[in-house]
Structure formats: C-alpha cells, structure tokens
C-alpha cells in the first residue's frame, strides 16, 4: 500500500495523524474486523491483528492484511482448536491454553491496537522514562482509574469524552474471560456513540503490585478473592485498585533482554502475570 502500515504511520511517521484522523482510523479498523467476523460467508478469525498488519491506501483508509495465521470457521462453528498463533502483547490469554478459540481473540488484539492509535505509543516501550509506562495497557488503566487520561495524549487537544469512551472500549476488549469481551459489532456501535459504554471492570484477574520500599513493586501478587472474581464477572469495577500505589499487570508474557544495552541502569526485568522481580 502507498502509505505503508499503521505501525509506520503511528510510530515512524514524520507527522503523526491528528486526533480526528486517529478516531476515524480506530473505527475503520474495528469495522474491518467486524466484516471478517460477521459479514463474510464464513467467519474468519485473523489471529494476528496488530498495526503492522494494517495497511493504509492512497486515501488513508485502513486495510487488514496478512491472513497467514487466520482460521476459517464453518457456518455452524463458533470456536476452533489451533496451535498458539499471534504476536506477544496482542494475544488473548486463551491463545496460550489448550482450549478452543473464538473471534474474541481478535477483539482482545484490537484493544491494544486501539490504545496504540490513541496514544501513538507502542504496546511495550523498554525505553520509557518510568517503569509503569513500559506496558501501555497497564499505564492507560492506571491513568483511567486515577482520572488522569490527559496524560496519555500529552499536550494534544482532544475531545475528552471521546477519549474516555475509547479507553473504556479498549478496557472491555482486554477482559481475560472471552465472554466478558464485547463482539466487534458492539465495539463499532460503542465507538460510533450509538451504544452507551459502562465502566469496565479491572482487565486482569485482580493482579496488582504494591510498591516496595524502592518503588519497584512487591515480589508477587495474590489473586483476587472469589467475591472479587464474581464481581468482575458481573461487569462491576474491582474495588481494590489503588491508582496511586498499584500497577495492574496485563495478561502479557514478555522478557526485557539486557536493558543496559539500551542505556538503562535498570538491569534486566522479567515480568509475567504471576511474578514480578528485578533480576
């Protein structure tokens, strides 16, 4: 495509898209995924939705590309078994398990694309000035809870109500349980302002990290109580989130290799959903 990929536009372009253009792009991508899920003769699960797979044509219209990992569902199918498919940081939790997947894995991937479009930041930035900003979804959720969403767009003038609504859509899409995630049709309706958006629950299994005396966080995090999990499943906010002192860990498995090579004095970090410790 003449204008490259969405990744190039957001992260490498000389001029990043303005607010109104980014809102349109986010809706374009959502409509494209909806077409794959509900408007094709046979539903298609893309399995690898991310900015580098979204191309921009001469008119800056988005085109979803690269169906090498895609799964085709039969008319009577809603789920299918598959090997692990996708890219770390964009993969739904069920993609790592020996369980069937549904179109909801693409919904999960879209949430990160949406946040990247809003913030013009990659889903993971090992060069971030603050540890809490390394994982984009963690940082955005913290800003959302603290009612400080202006931080994620900096000095740019944006429609604050639209920003809040789009962040809420993203946080609904990141829910661990597939049944809690909206369909792409619902996502499109919410982005278009046709459907109201309720406050999303905590987008993880209640995992938080309390800061230690050096501010790097505790060694581990206890899972949410049964009552909290039931509250989460009902779609209500978990009460245990302290935006000033907690970090929410998303369902992402990643490893930061030797940050010293990048000029950081932080050493190496290995983070996953069950453990966080400085090596």
Catalytic residues: 48
Residue 59 has what DSSP assignment?
T
DSSP 133-179: GSBHHHHHHHHHHTT-GGGGTTT----HHHHHHHHHHHHHHT-SSGG
- Given a contact cutoff of 8 angstroms between Cβ atoms, the answer to whether 116 and 51 are in contact is yes
Query: How far is Cα 107 from Cα 123, in angstroms, rounded to an integer?
Result: 16
Convert 91-106 to b/e letters by CB count within 10 Å (16 or more is b): bbbbbeeeeebbbbbb
Query: How far is Cα 29 from Cα 62, in angstroms, rounded to an integer?
Result: 6
Helix (H, G, I), strand (E, B) or coil at 65: coil
- Given a contact cutoff of 8 angstroms between Cβ atoms, the answer to whether 93 and 179 are in contact is no
How is residue 34 written in tokens?
């909806």
Collect all residues with Cβ–Cβ distance below 8 Å to 215 and sequence separation of at least 6.
none
Give the max Cα distance, the chain. 57
Query: How far is Cα 108 from Cα 137, in angstroms, rounded to an integer?
Result: 12
Collect all residues with Cβ–Cβ distance below 8 Å to 11 and sequence separation of at least 6.
51, 120, 121, 122
Residue 23, φ and ψ in degrees, nearest 5: -60, -45
Collect all residues with Cβ–Cβ distance below 8 Å to 130 and sequence separation of at least 6.
none
């Amino acid at each position: 495509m003449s204008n490259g990929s969405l990744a190039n536009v957001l992260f490498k372009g000389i001029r990043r898209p303005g607010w109104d253009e980014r809102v349109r792009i986010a809706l374009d991508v959502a409509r494209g995924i909806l077409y794959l899920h509900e408007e094709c003769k046979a539903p298609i699960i893309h399995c690898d939705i991310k900015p580098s797979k979204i191309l921009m044509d001469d008119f800056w219209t988005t085109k979803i590309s690269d169906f090498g990992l895609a799964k085709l569902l039969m008319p009577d199918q809603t789920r299918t078994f598959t090997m692990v498919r996708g890219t770390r940081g964009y993969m739904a939790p069920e993609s790592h398990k020996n369980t069937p997947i549904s179109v909801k894995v693409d919904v999960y991937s879209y949430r990160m694309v949406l946040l990247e479009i809003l913030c013009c930041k990659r889903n993971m930035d090992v060069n971030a000035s603050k540890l809490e900003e390394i994982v984009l979804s963690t940082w955005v959720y913290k800003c959302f809870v603290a009612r400080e969403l202006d931080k994620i767009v900096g000095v740019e003038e944006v429609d604050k109500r639209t920003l809040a609504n789009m962040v809420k859509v993203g946080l609904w899409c990141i829910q661990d349980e597939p049944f809690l995630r909206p369909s792409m049709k619902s996502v499109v309706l919410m982005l278009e302002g046709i459907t109201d958006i309720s406050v999303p629950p905590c987008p993880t299994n209640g995992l938080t990290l309390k800061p230690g005396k050096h501010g790097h966080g505790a060694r581990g995090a206890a899972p949410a109580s049964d009552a909290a999990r039931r509250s989460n499943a009902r779609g209500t906010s978990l009460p245990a989130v302290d935006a000033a002192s907690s970090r929410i860990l998303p369902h992402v498995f990643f490893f930061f290799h030797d940050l010293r090579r990048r000029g950081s004095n932080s050493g190496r970090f290995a983070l996953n959903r069950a453990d966080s410790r400085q090596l």
